[in-house]
Structure 1
């Protein structure tokens, strides 16, 4: 072994020496070649030529930035950074992430960047480069609409068809009619030249009636409404809304692009034939494929390529027919096999690249097209306010009135109106289509983009206002123990501890489990998968422990804020979570844990453990009189878990116990270990320690846990009877 190491070292040394010799000889040849060239040209190297060389190099570098590929890469980088930053700021203001992305696109356009730094704007987004940006964004939108189509659950539409279809169609018809009436006042001065009134009014009607199903789904999840009747009805109405609106949009595009009634009729007939073909022939074939590709192992690269080729082919066909590529991609998603695993796998492949790269490019392109400065002419701001009024009143009143007519109470009716008024990304897609085919002018396009921004922004505050107005009708707050976990295994450990913290004779052992996915832009199918895999093991364990378990799940852009909101909204006796070291520190209370503890004042437990094993021995560390207050809790935990409890008294605090607690120790035969040797802790499966003690006694950070053991840091104050 040693001889091989020596031989290997000598081999490397010889190779390096040989390479350096070759380089040296090559340099001698290079010098000779340069001398020959210099004698032939006899051009003296002066300072001026060196300066010129630097200038030429700088010019080449500057020109290189304007080559198509480097410029496109720079645009992608700037757009992604801007949308991420403004999106995060939007989340901090308790708004959907998409609000920040839309706003970032507007800020990168002529409305701000072009106004304050026109040279930088022209350098970053020259007019000649917008074609590449548009093509890339359209490719991203094709895959995004494919995912939106897959998220559309037709079973839900059938199950709630009675009230959902009434509400969704009312939420389309009223704003559609109001939009067509509004077109009468805007057509003369703001419609593009050569566009007939029918096309303009139809497009204004669709622009007013659209609902952003993906954004609405995120809002429903964020507000914990997914499993409520209101949330289910809102999602159903939005799905029906989208389906109807996209069919109407296809008809309008066919009418506009065909250039006449007969050609438009031919386009519509071809579109109907294609939809029938997809529904009756392609869908059964896709369902057969869905029975084969049901797991990751069967989901080969070839299968992925074929499935991703499907929306591209469908988009190409609908674009060739004359409706729009996005309609074909949406239809391809709708007819995909009704297999959650397959849809989730496909969504995971598509949505990351689509939402992280291509959609921000679409927002940037929309922002470039949105010129707020154009509205300073004449009475255009008055026209914008009229557009906003029509949009809000039509969608909000139409949805709320229909919901009330179908038997819903006022709170649910108004909440549904607020949710259906959400436009967001889908509105921008429709507006860009109208702009591309020449139906919308720059002024109308800018008005409608601002309208989409305002109506999406107002959804959250409107729902909060409705909740305050109907505060007496709130559901009963949560109670019992709340546990929040990230990893599934940590959820099981926390549930075991939660079961042990209840009094032995307690009849209402209620536990609420909270799991948040730190990304609000995952698809609905992916969210359902995460929710199912997170809570299935907990439901099984809760039955074994005799616990009443309720669950809360949602994708989140601010996990700490949403956990705090859940803690503050419920009447929980204790909050449990796992310790998490931050990226820059080994402190188990670092990052979000410290924020949660500082901004909440209830009972809390932090579990520090790699993996908690069987708990047979529990040790309560008593460093101060406050730690003595954990005795009853420790006794309950040891009894419920069937573990042996010991007290470790390194500071001689046990004599300070009350007579009642001394009698309890004597009755339960709880041993007391004195002395300050922490070696005793290595025998414990679970160590209990007061949170204040952990913060004050810095030497405790050196405790070493045995494999499978855990440390539970507790902030606890007994409830007064």
Structure 2
């Protein structure tokens, strides 16, 4: 058995020890914030110069071209070979430009004016040149000159949605085969459908699938999906699990937020000068801190379920800590958006106060109203349609209210999920109504909208890749090391502490939501957005391999034998079971009775044998889905119990069990290797071509 805690002689995490820990964390965060604000407030972000320009015709320049900008880094694009990689520092635009004749020359132009009257002047190839701003760059999503009919627009929207769903499903299935969460495959699919791959390889196909006038429609649908998704996330947070481990979970969670946030505030100082858009330092730094401190609760939950870690101390604590992290993250995001949208410090305080009042009103006033849902559900056995409509309207109105206050709209939807009554049947009913459509249809739209904003090609200088690496290291050190040190301080072994840090370092979808809000608010540039998206993806991919490296023997996971014994522990009969057993492992519900019909006469033979019926369920292919998974397990157990009672009535000793398994073949092989098992009965099918050994779980067991 796995020891629940390795205190290492340190004692429990309470009293003075807990206060000292919080004191150290608070001081570290306060010092980092003070240093960041003091130094950063004196720094200036690069002036905004992106746009279309006219130029004095020279031997090098055309008469017109465009400048695109990511902080100090500027790209010049003209007709033909004219292009350049420039850098804007200290009021001068310097770099190398490829001229019309294919040759290259150095450029050093002075910024004379800014804003809509931006003018650069200088000498190029011994000729005087002046660059004058003429117009802003075209905005993404601008409608085409020829307006589509409503029917044509609808058709193109349906085509775009179909392409997104297909790509998301395929990529999710591929990533699942290598042990990664399906949602990460869907995120990758969204990015590959954007400029990063499809736009680079087949730009005409990308423009046809996602024309400029369809992107705003996709974005609107994605925003609706995010609101309902955050409602599901809030509804699946279990306060009971948090209360059971409140002290340790809160300390580890708070440390794993404060430590990376402090590092994010510090790294914001040089990043602000290099890559910040036209934004004030304080909201930029606060956003960088929030971006570094995120843990993706839904993705982490899927990892813990698939690895059967929830019944181990590390997994249970990671789940509780991530739940607290999630609530903290949305609160910090609300603060960051309030500061970004406010015109002054007083305005920011007003927005924060209104956000607090809104949250309190939802808890005090909204929760008692929603609590009546439990009574209605108990009386009717389902949620009345009028109540369902009322909940949906509440989600939308809460999102609207949050937006009007000046914070992220999804915060309102998340709060509605948090105050939903924790009634198993009610939660299942609401999840069943929403999960499939929201997670399968609407959420992938958010991934492709994100992917259309990711421009890996914009990281076209070595300095940008170095900065991307620095941000990645800061994110990993802050989150992983912060959680690891907090867990070690709380009494865990170094191995368990490091595993907990690897889990808390999972950012996934939650990080993408935060980054999109930062980009929409103008707090980060496209290049910085791309860097942070890559950081979010890589840190999430790291979790699985890191756990396998730290725990190669799977001691942090519940082995299938133990899961089986736990599942059947409450169903033991008073009669002594036969010494030998037959393992019946149906791969689907259709073949259970056929397998039992074969197994029953074998069990009656001499010597008699016990039937052990095990149904392994694959994890739900949803980024939330915990409620759905619990419902499926209960339904499966109820069906197996009915068959068990029939067999017991006919004198056949039977035990049944059902549990989740991400690798059914390997788990069945371990169960079949038990010394009391004489025979395993399971269904399968031969390959479509040839006469080879059946594939899938049957092939694993036979091999």
Give the TM-score of the pair, scaled to structure 2: 0.69
Task: Show CA shifts across 1:323-372 (max 9, x none).
Answer: 11100000000101111111111111111111111111110010010000
Alignment check: 8 A CA contact 1:481 1:512 kept: no
Contact 2:685–2:695 (8 Å) recurs in 1: no
SS at match of 2:618: strand
Map 1:306-455; keep pairs closer than 5 Å: 306-455=390-539
Are 1:158 and 2:243 an aligned pair? yes
Correspondence for 2:280 among 176, 196, 199: 196
Report the alpha carbon displacement of residue 579 of structure 1 after superposing the two structures with TM: 3.1
Shift in Å, 1:308: 1.5
| Whole-angstrom distance in 2 between the partners of 1:85 and 1:473 | 31
Q: SS state of the match for residue 552, structure 1?
A: strand
Q: Contact 2:453 / 2:526 at 8 angstroms: preserved in 1?
A: yes
Q: Which string of whole-angstrom CA distances, capped at 9 and with x for unpartnered residues, describes residues 518-559 of structure 1? A: 6344521111111122224546877967667664225x6xxx
Partner Cα separation in structure 2 for residue 498 and residue 434 of structure 1: 60
Whether the aligned pair in 2 keeps the contact of 1:174 and 1:395 (CA below 8 Å) is: yes
Aligned to 2:659: 552
Deviations 1:142-176 (A, max 9, x none): 11111101001111111110111111111111111
The correspondence of residues 44-443 of structure 1 with structure 2, limited to 5 A, is: 67-193=152-278, 195-294=279-378, 298-443=382-527
**Alpha-carbon distance in structure 1 between the residues aligned to 2:560 and 2:636:** 23
Alignment deviations for residues 103-132 of structure 1 (CA, whole Å, 9 cap, x no partner): 111111111111122222223323333221
Q: Say which SS state the counterpart of residue 514 (structure 1) adopts.
A: strand
User: Is the contact made by 2:669 and 2:700 (CA closer than 8 Å) also made in structure 1?
Assistant: no
Helix, strand or coil: the match of 1:211?
coil
Q: Does 1:533 align with 2:635?
A: yes
Q: Secondary structure at the match of 1:293?
A: helix
Q: Report the alpha carbon displacement of residue 420 of structure 1 after superposing the two structures with TM.
A: 1.0
Partners in 1 of 2:608 and 2:259 — Cα distance?
A: 55
Secondary structure of 1:215's match? helix
Q: Which secondary structure state, in structure 2, belongs to the residue aligned with residue 367 of structure 1?
A: helix
Change (3 A) 1:260 1:575: farther
Between the aligned partners of 1:575 and 1:137, the Cα distance in structure 2 is 51
Please identify the structure whose Cα radius of gyration is greater: 1
Deviates more, 1:387-396 or 1:292-301: 292-301
Bigger relative CO (Cα 8 Å, ≥ 6 apart): 2
Q: Point out the structure with the larger helix share.
A: 1
**Displacement of 1:599 after TM fit?**
3.0
- C-alpha contact 2:599 2:681 (8 A) present in aligned 1: no
* C-alpha distance in structure 1 between counterparts of 2:527 and 2:484, whole Å: 31
SS in 2 for 1:128: coil
Q: How many angstroms apart in 2 are the aligned matches of 1:227 and 1:325?
A: 35
Correspondence for 1:20: none
Query: How far apart, CA to CA, are the structure 2 residues paired with 1:433 and 1:284?
Result: 31
Classify the secondary structure of the residue corresponding to 1:597: helix
Which string of whole-angstrom CA distances, capped at 9 and with x for unpartnered residues, describes residues 282-317 of structure 1? 101111222112487643332321221121111111
Contact in 2 for aligned 1:567/1:575 (Cα 8 Å): no
- Pair 577,256 (structure 1): closer, same or farther in 2 beyond 3 Å: farther
* 1:198 to partner: Cα distance: 1.3
Is contact 2:305–2:619 with CA below 8 Å preserved after alignment?
no
SS of 1:110 mapped into structure 2: coil
Provide the rounded CA distance (Å) in 1 between the counterparts of 2:199 and 2:337: 32
Residue 214 of structure 2 aligns to a residue in which SS? helix
| 8 Å contact from structure 1 (residues 224, 552) kept in 2 | no
Q: TM-score, normalised by structure 1?
A: 0.68
Tell me if structure 2 keeps the 8 A contact 1:486–1:516: no
Question: Using the alignment, how far apart are the partners of 2:253 and 2:303 within structure 1?
Answer: 18
Deviation track 1:440-484 (CA, whole Å, cap 9, x = no partner) reads 11011000111111111111111111122x678887773976544
Q: CA RMSD in A?
A: 3.4
CA change 1:474–1:304 in 2 (3 A) is closer
Q: Distance in 1 between matches of 2:608 and 2:343?
A: 75
Give the Cα–Cα distance (whole angstroms) in 2 for the partners of residues 472 and 329 of structure 1.
38
Structure 1 CA distance for aligned equivalents of residues 197 and 592 of structure 2 = 47
Consecutive unaligned residues in structure 1, runs of 5 or more: 1-60, 557-561, 603-721
Q: In structure 2, what is the Cα distance between the partners aligned to 1:93 and 1:256? A: 40
Q: Assess, with a 3 A threshold, how the Cα gap between structure 1 residues 208 and 496 changes in structure 2: closer, same or farther.
A: farther
Q: Structure 2: how far apart are the matches of 1:83 and 1:310? A: 30
Match of 1:320, SS state, is helix
Query: Are 1:482 and 1:514, in contact at CA under 8 Å, matched by a contact in 2?
Result: no
CA distance in 2: counterparts of 1:476 and 1:434, whole angstroms: 42
Match of 1:652 in 2: none
Gap change, CA 1:472 and 1:461, over 3 Å in 2? closer
Secondary structure of 1:127's aligned partner: coil
- Residue-pair matches, total: 532
In the alignment, structure 1 residue 599 sits paired with structure 2 residue 684:
no
